[in-house]
Structure formats: C-alpha cells, structure tokens
Amino acid sequence: MKLREYTLYLAWMVAVVATLGSLYFSEIREFIPCELCWYQRILMYPLSILLGIAAYTNDRKIKKYVLPLSIIGGCISLFHYLEQKVPGFASIKPCVNGVPCSTQYINYFGFITIPFLALVAFTLISVLLFMTKNDK
C-alpha cells in the first residue's frame, strides 16, 4: 500500500472534518464567525465536495483547481492566526462589523485556536495534493 494512492481520499477526509468542525463551532457551540472565518469557510466548504467527487472518480487532475483554494485558504488562516496571537497584526485590518477577528473562542494549550485548526487543515490538504500522483 502506497500513501500516494490514497492522497485524494485523505485530503477529502481532512476537508470534511474541517467543514464539520466549523459547523460544530458555529451551530452547536454557537460561536459567531468573524469576517476572516467566513472567508476560510468559503474556501474550505467547496473542497469537501470537490475532493469527494475527485476521490470517488480518481480524478487526479483536480489538483490544478482545488490547490489554489487550499493555498489561499491557508494564507488567510495564517493571517487570521497572526492577528490573534501577534499584537501588532490586530491593528492591520480591524473588523468593522460583528465579532472582532482577534477574538479567541478557544485557546487550547495556549496556541490552538480555530484559525490554527483551519491552517492545519489547509496545509494538510495542500501537502496531500502535492503528493498526489499526476496522470500521464
């Protein structure tokens, strides 16, 4: 068994867990998403559908369509995480409506926040897509 044969399935599973996790935080725990959280969701939710279809049909060409979503989502997550953890970043782009983007609903072990979880998910998806064998 080679890991490269299952990278699409693994990336799909990461996207589904991240999607369900964000829905859990907002619908069950009733955390109100900030503006940057919404952007991350906009990029993650389609991944759970597109990667599922690609994994089912073994369409490895999907990389060129979903990898940009994952990389952009990771960049937004990184910025959001820095905004929460680095004092100087909070003043770069203050949220004007709703919940401030610097709000930390969770803070496990002093560094695991919701944007950190999203960053890990986007990073795993990107790495798994880079590992996916290309069709010839």
Q: What is the pLDDT of residues 12-35, one digit of tens each?
A: 999 999 999 999 999 999 999 988
Cα distance between residue 90 and residue 101, in whole Å: 8
Q: DSSP letter at 112?
A: B
Task: Give which of 47, 54, 69 is closest to 132, Cα–Cα.
Answer: 54
Q: Are 41 and 64 in contact (CB under 8 A)?
A: no
Cα distance between residue 58 and residue 135, in whole Å: 10
Ordered domains of the chain (ranges, CATH)? 3-131 (1.20.1550)
In the chain, the largest separation of any two C-alpha atoms, in whole Å, equals: 51
Q: pLDDT digit string (tens) for 68-103?
A: 999 999 999 999 999 888 877 766 665 566 787 777
User: What's the pTM value of the predicted model, to 2 decimals?
Assistant: 0.90
